[in-house]
Amino acid sequence: MTLLSWNIQYGKGVDGRIDLCRIRDGILETADADIVCLQEVSRFEPGTSKGADQLQAFQEFFPDYEAFYGPAYDRSEG
C-alpha cells in the first residue's frame, strides 16, 4: 500500500498561480498511490482559491478515489 501526503498550499505554485491541473499532474507523475492526503484544500474561500471548491475539482480529477474533507477552521458567523 502506498500513501502520498502533499500540502498543496491552496493550489498556488511558486509562480503565484493557482493551478489545480498542475497539482493533479504532479500527483499522477509522482506516485501510483492507494491513498492521497492533501492538506490546504480550499472550499469557497475568496482569499485563497478565488471562491472555488477545490474538493469538487479533485473529486472530478480522481473519480476512482473517495474524498473526505475536514476544514482546518470554522468560519461560521454565529
Residue 12 has pLDDT above 70, yes or no: yes
18-75 pLDDT, tens per residue?
999 999 999 999 878 899 999 999 998 887 777 899 999 999 999 999 999 988 777 7
Grid coordinates of 74: 470554522
| Contact partners, residue 57, CB within 8 Å, separation at least 6 | 20
